[in-house]
Structure 1
């Protein structure tokens, strides 16, 4: 039952090239930076990643992207990662952009054993009809486009069929974990982390604090240990602020 490992390198050692990863975080909040750095050091490539965004140029998933280790991204937000934009527009990176709520539900459904679901998000757009560029050719032509989605009507309203996501591995950051894998997230750092954890067939967690079983009150648990397979200690200082806004005094 003790799921704590000695290092992040040990936790990611069996992630193979081409694996599908679900990675928690939103912007730069709740990013599993310790596990991502260990994966970057391992040299694993051709990774297919599902995450709300792809970090920034020199941190988080941006480390893997800059090294050419990611072949495909499923995201809802491109953000301000210039290398992400460069690789996508040059045909080096395949990108599936998905409405944010749809992405969250695809991860949750994958962890709940639900193969697909209907949603109104994207009805009447290219999400429905297809043709969104997933990959460009070097000459700028569209090499691979999104397919059309199945549409059904319920109660007089049209809905699109979206498929669930079940990842090979999930990378997640929590504030607190016990040795059995029960997790607590801090405030907004909860974001996509529980959903990514549910989606992974093997879920790797970095926690800022690790306690003994029973130290977390049952009502305080955000994600049950049944979803967690491995735990490593995270550096609590390894955090970044995406945008700093200061009050200008008169």
Structure 2
């Protein structure tokens, strides 16, 4: 099985290998975390009054936990369709930047793939798969990375649907509070991936954001996660650039 943290390049002599690597990688911790996450979402959706087809359709079409939870929460509150649509769109706005950077990593913007393939690939993009291709980017050629992503993301997508189905029926006998608790598994996995990031800058930014959020929570409440992450990341990047400029200036000719 391909390790998510392997660094050695993979020869491009076997086109099927990146696809197989992606499939096998998905059947490990990333797949387990997505499955568990969707079990928790299904419990929330059923409690909000969703039937099974609507619950499955939400996972299939929204495919982003913040948007899915927003949709279920607003539905139970009796919000209008326009309000729900707007909230889901705003909650999934983060996917726009991930889609742009993901297309750049896989060189999908170079025109080698038809438009419908790009749409399908980006629909399957989740933060789990985005982090994963970032971790293995240097191991494959651009076409190989696309095949890796296709294998990884399709399995993740399928496991997400299966988790939704399982969670919907598990809520009959398991406490919804217990099922919702598994929603923390994917964020925990992403945090561990960030800690293992290739660049120390990314590690420091992740730790700084995690340290700043509890400090801001008494003042900003739920906004502390968003604002704390942005503020910590920005400060770390600015400090890194300042350090690089200072080092360059110190090493220059007198």
Tell me which protein shows more strand as a share of its residues: 1
Task: Work out which structure has the larger RCO, using CA pairs closer than 8 Å and 6 or more positions apart in sequence.
Answer: 2
Select the structure of larger CA radius of gyration.
Answer: 2
Tell me which protein shows more helix as a share of its residues: 2
Q: Per the shorter chain, which TM-score range?
A: under 0.3
Q: TM-score, normalized by length of structure 1?
A: 0.21
Q: TM-score, normalized by length of structure 2?
A: 0.21
